[in-house]
Amino acid sequence: MSQAPTVTMTESRGELGGALLGVGQRHRDPAVVSGGGQQDAGAVGHLRIDVDRDNVPSGPTTLASSAALQPPDPISARSCPEELDLLRLAATADPVQHARIYDTLAIRLSNAGQRPAALAASLQATAIWQRLAATSRDAYLPNLATSLSNHANRLAEVGRPTEAIQVSQQALDLRRELTELNRDAYLPDHAESLAVLGHVLMQDARFGEAVAPLVEAMGFGQELPEYAQGIMAVIVDLLRRCHTEDAARVAEEFREIAGANVPDWMKEPPASSDG
């Protein structure tokens, strides 16, 4: 039997139940904010909880926003994104740039439906970040956590949920460590990793187990800055999907975690299902 993921609750059951009721009611609309700041209802169905460093959400402190957006590349007007990434790879020997390019390429290939190729690119990215973090942990740990979280999504997309859960847990452990060092800077990324863990557990039909990380992430809702609130709508939809798939088990887990019955907003139908 697969080992249960590690999730840590920081609030009392009564406080958590009340907080979840309020957060869920505020995010009943399943539209989420995409990287460009536009409302994108489709993102919920495809669960794009990825950090693309060529299209990151703007914000003052999070890991995603800490990478400065690059000016438009003139080559991009003449090349498809995948070709552009290959050109960029050939143009530099810098391992940091290689890792970032592979991260971006993996997300683009995934968006294009080329999932095996996306997984291969993601694996390259995580391998480079792991080597870099081994030589300078403080400098590259945030990048490694992001890459692992994205890699978990890629594994789930190709039907390898057990590995996806393991990798997602690794990313979550790193994000938890970073949040302990600087809560304001890394809490949005921590919430993202919890959502990814919940999602990959759902891909393995472990709907009851998915409740814990999703509920923990929702507990952060009131602390997240405005630009990071889009993840809450994704989590609301994931919890609705869990309840739709296994209402009895999800209700049991929710009561154990939050000390309350499943709120009405969780019983509503999810916006969409994974395709």
Cβ–Cβ under 8 Å, residues 131 and 95 = yes
Residue 88 has a pLDDT of: 78
Q: For 36-53, give one letter per residue: b (16+ CB within 10 A) or e.
A: eeeebeebbbebbbbbbb
Q: What is the pLDDT of residues 20-39, one digit of tens each?
A: 444 444 444 444 333 333 33
Domains identified in the chain and CATH numbers: 13-50+69-267 (1.25.40.10)
Q: What is the pLDDT of residues 213-266, one digit of tens each?
A: 999 999 998 899 998 999 999 999 999 999 999 999 999 999 999 999 999 999
What residues pair up with 43 in beta bridges, in sequence order?
Answer: none
Residue 235 has a pLDDT of: 95
Q: What is the pLDDT of residues 48-105, one digit of tens each?
A: 456 554 444 333 223 332 322 233 343 333 346 667 777 777 777 889 999 999 999 9
The DSSP 8-state label assigned to residue 2 in this structure reads P
Residue 49 has a pLDDT of: 57
Q: How sure is the predictor about 195, in pLDDT bands with cuts at 50, 70 and 90? A: very high
Name the pTM for this structure.
0.74
Cβ–Cβ under 8 Å, residues 67 and 76 = no
For the cut 90, the answer to whether the pLDDT of residue 171 exceeds it is yes
* DSSP output for 47-76: T-----TTSPPP-SSSHHHHSPPPPPPGGG
Q: What is the pLDDT of residues 109-135, one digit of tens each?
A: 999 899 999 999 999 999 999 999 999
Tokens of 114: 């080329």
Residue 5 has a pLDDT of: 58
For the cut 90, the answer to whether the pLDDT of residue 153 exceeds it is yes
